[in-house]
């Protein structure tokens, strides 16, 4: 039997469920398709995520070559390319890991159908989440819609397994040996896929993921105290790696449970949030376009395109918001506290539909993940499954004072305020700092407008 392991958002050769299963049969080819359906939609042809993927594939191919094999890379639509690869290598069965996004589910259905016509089997495995939708259910067998009871049940199930997290061993000796003329080390794929290389603040590849994890382990115990302060390197920065699977979720959970500290438990909770949002997207795919709580789609958003543009470009006159947006535009990264501040600000102070901000984040974030991004936006706009109540409106000034007290983060991204004191920086005086934009709206007035705008929910 000859097998194909089709990697997508699991760009690694260790602890990979599909790969471990494929290798049990042996003679395994590993392939990646630069998916035209996804790439063609990316407006920025120097997208940092493409560079991240490319770097990860280069590292992966080097490892495969050490074992006498090589990564098969193609550009096109998977429903055409995967059957082609199968024909070329006389594959009997394709192994892959599950992806719960609506597009991915449709893609896999189509690929399965096409493979059937040429007599090739297709099987997918749980890998990117710890528990799937049917594994964590309420007493009456329903899926949870609120995080805390979900988390408690998740932990209960986890403890019942004696907290043992077996690794999916990948015996690379069983790879198919061949020489690859289209080798990714030799063929420059960037022009072929219509992209240019761009530097990314985080390099791709499993080795980089483990460096980050190792570094984070040194301060994981302080995570609870440090994770909310953007000027402090208190979080792991692993989101892009878990998004593309250069590290496994199990690697991260193993690291969390090996450390017995409050910080480690808090970090584990964040990984459970990730599972929660994946499960919510899997079971409620309509949230990709609509509010989880459907009555929130009755809101008539009052905000303007002009204000949206100012928000995107980091010139709202609210320093913490502008610093966060400028950081995102430049690096593709944004701290979690800042994501909450700018999302809440856009929906509840600029009165703009959450879908616009969600789309902007999807274009810019290095770690963009549909489930987590949608979850974060719907939490911030209050339309989500376990969201903050609609009348809770973050005050950007007090958030700034609390989480960037000295203005260290703001000063890094808003040079116009370099000379502001720690008192002035959160709400600068327009006369003293005339080169910095005046606030485009009044926080106090728009807070009131927001409550009026959201009042349709009470009526619904």
Ligand X SMILES: Cc1cc2nc3c(=O)[nH]c(=O)nc-3n(C[C@H](O)[C@H](O)[C@H](O)COP(=O)(O)OP(=O)(O)OC[C@H]3O[C@@H](n4cnc5c(N)ncnc54)[C@H](O)[C@@H]3O)c2cc1C
Least distance between ligand X and beta carbon 235 (Å): 3
Least distance between ligand X and beta carbon 131 (Å): 14
Q: Contact with ligand X (CB under 6 A): which of 33, 91, 104, 372?
A: 372
Count the residues of the shown chain that bind ligand X, applying the rule CB under 6 A: 28
Cβ neighbours of residue 384 under 8 Å, at least 6 residues apart?
287, 291, 292, 293, 375, 377, 378
Q: Is 88 noted as a catalytic residue in this protein?
A: no
Q: Is 446 noted as a catalytic residue in this protein?
A: no
User: Helices 396-403 & 319-331, crossing angle to 10 degrees?
Assistant: 70
CA-based end-to-end distance of the chain: 59
The stretch near ligand X (CB under 6 A) out of 145-153, 160-168, 288-296, 366-374 is 366-374
Q: Contact with ligand X (CB under 6 A): which of 340, 346, 350, 410?
A: 340
Nearer to ligand X, 238 or 349 (CB): 238
The stretch near ligand X (CB under 6 A) out of 101-109, 145-153, 296-304, 369-377 is 369-377
Q: Does 273 bind ligand X (CB under 6 A)?
A: yes
Count CB-CB contacts under 10 A for residue 106: 12
CA 300 and chain centroid, separation: 29
**Of 286, 451, 454, 248, the residue nearest 385 (C-alpha):** 286
Least distance between ligand X and beta carbon 237 (Å): 4
Count CB-CB contacts under 10 A for residue 180: 18
Q: Is 395 noted as a catalytic residue in this protein?
A: no
Q: Which of 273, 288, 329, 424 is catalytic?
A: 273
Is the sign of the CA dihedral 404, 408, 411, 413 positive or negative? Answer: negative
Q: Contact with ligand X (CB under 6 A): which of 72, 271, 323, 450?
A: 271
Partner residues linked to 30 by β-bridges:
5, 71
Q: Are β-strands 3-6 and 121-125 bridged in parallel, bridged antiparallel, or unpaired?
A: unpaired
Q: Contact with ligand X (CB under 6 A): which of 35, 81, 108, 369?
A: 369
d(CA 153, CA 148): 9
The stretch near ligand X (CB under 6 A) out of 6-14, 255-263, 363-371, 450-458 is 363-371
Q: What are the distances in angstroms from CA 82 to CA 5, 188, 295, 409?
A: 10, 21, 42, 46
Nearer to ligand X, 242 or 385 (CB): 242
Residue that the structure tokens 């450390």 belong to: 259
| H helical segments located in 90-187 | 102-117, 147-160
Q: What is the DSSP letter of 144?
A: P
Q: Is 154 noted as a catalytic residue in this protein?
A: no
Site for ligand X, residues 184 to 243, rule: CB under 6 A = 227, 235-239, 242-243
Q: What are the distances in angstroms from CA 288 to CA 131, 146, 359?
A: 21, 19, 11
Q: Which of 189, 217, 226, 301 is catalytic?
A: 301
d(CA 316, CA 178): 57
Q: Does 380 bind ligand X (CB under 6 A)?
A: yes
Nearer to ligand X, 74 or 337 (CB): 337
Q: Does 244 bind ligand X (CB under 6 A)?
A: no
Q: Does 361 bind ligand X (CB under 6 A)?
A: yes
* Two tokens, residue 411: 């000063």
Least distance between ligand X and beta carbon 384 (Å): 10
Q: Which of 80, 84, 270, 416 is catalytic?
A: 270
Q: Which of 183, 336, 401, 424 is catalytic?
A: 336
Q: Which of 354, 373, 374, 446 is catalytic?
A: 354
Cα angle 216, 219, 220 (rounded to 5 degrees) comes to: 75
Cβ neighbours of residue 392 under 8 Å, at least 6 residues apart?
382
Least distance between ligand X and beta carbon 291 (Å): 15
The stretch near ligand X (CB under 6 A) out of 64-72, 189-197, 297-305, 374-382 is 374-382
Q: Does 245 bind ligand X (CB under 6 A)?
A: no
Q: Is 336 noted as a catalytic residue in this protein?
A: yes
Contacts with ligand X, residue ranges (CB under 6 A): 227, 235-239, 242-243, 270-271, 273-274, 277, 336, 339-340, 343, 361, 365, 367-369, 372-373, 375-377, 380
Active site residues: 270, 273, 301, 336, 354, 377
């Amino acid at each position: 039997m000859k097998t194909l392991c089709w990697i997508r958002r699991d760009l690694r050769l260790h602890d990979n469920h599909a790969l471990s299963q494929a290798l049990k049969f042996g003679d395994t080819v590993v392939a990646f398709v630069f998916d035209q359906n996804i790439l063609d939609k990316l407006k920025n042809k120097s997208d940092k995520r493409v560079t991240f993927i490319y770097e990860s594939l280069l590292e992966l191919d080097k490892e495969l070559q050490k074992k006498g094999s090589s990564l098969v890379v193609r550009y096109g639509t998977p429903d055409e390319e995967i059957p082609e690869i199968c024909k070329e290598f006389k594959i009997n069965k394709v192994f892959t890991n599950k992806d719960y996004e609506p597009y991915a589910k449709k893609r896999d259905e189509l690929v399965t159908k096409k493979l059937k016509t040429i007599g090739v089997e297709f099987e997918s495995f749980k890998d990117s989440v710890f528990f799937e939708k049917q594994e964590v259910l309420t007493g009456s067998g329903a899926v949870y819609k609120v995080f805390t009871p979900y988390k408690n049940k998740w932990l209960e199930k986890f403890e019942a397994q004696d907290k043992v997290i077996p690794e999916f061993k990948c015996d690379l000796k069983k790879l198919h040996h061949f020489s690859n003329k289209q080798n990714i080390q030799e063929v420059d794929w960037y022009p072929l896929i219509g992209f240019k290389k761009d530097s990314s603040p985080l390099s791709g590849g499993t080795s980089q993921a483990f460096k980050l994890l190792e570094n984070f382990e040194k301060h994981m115990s302080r995570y609870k105290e440090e994770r909310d302060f953007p000027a402090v390197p208190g979080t792991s920065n692993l989101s892009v790696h878990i998004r593309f699977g250069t590290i496994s979720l199990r690697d991260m959970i193993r690291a969390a449970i090996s450390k017995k500290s409050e910080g480690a438990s808090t970090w584990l909770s964040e990984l459970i949030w990730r599972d929660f949002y994946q499960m919510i997207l899997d079971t409620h795919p309509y949230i990709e376009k609509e509010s989880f709580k459907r009555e929130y789609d009755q809101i008539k958003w009052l905000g303007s395109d002009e204000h949206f543009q100012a928000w995107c470009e980091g010139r709202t006159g609210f320093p913490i918001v502008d610093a966060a947006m400028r950081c995102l535009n430049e690096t593709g990264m944004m701290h979690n506290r800042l994501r909450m501040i700018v999302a809440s600000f856009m929906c509840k102070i600029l009165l703009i539909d959450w879908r616009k901000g969600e789309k902007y984040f999807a274009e810019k974030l290095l770690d963009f993940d549909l489930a987590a991004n949608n979850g974060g936006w719907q939490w911030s706009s209050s339309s989500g499954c376990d969201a903050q109540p609609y009348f809770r409106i973050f005050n950007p000034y007090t958030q700034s004072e609390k989480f960037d007290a000295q203005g260290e983060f703001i000063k890094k991204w808003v040079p116009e305020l370099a000379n502001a004191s720690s008192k002035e920086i959160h709400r600068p005086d327009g006369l003293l700092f005339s080169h910095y934009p005046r606030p485009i709206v009044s926080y106090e007035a728009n807070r009131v407008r927001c409550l009026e705008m959201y009042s349709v929910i009470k009526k619904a």
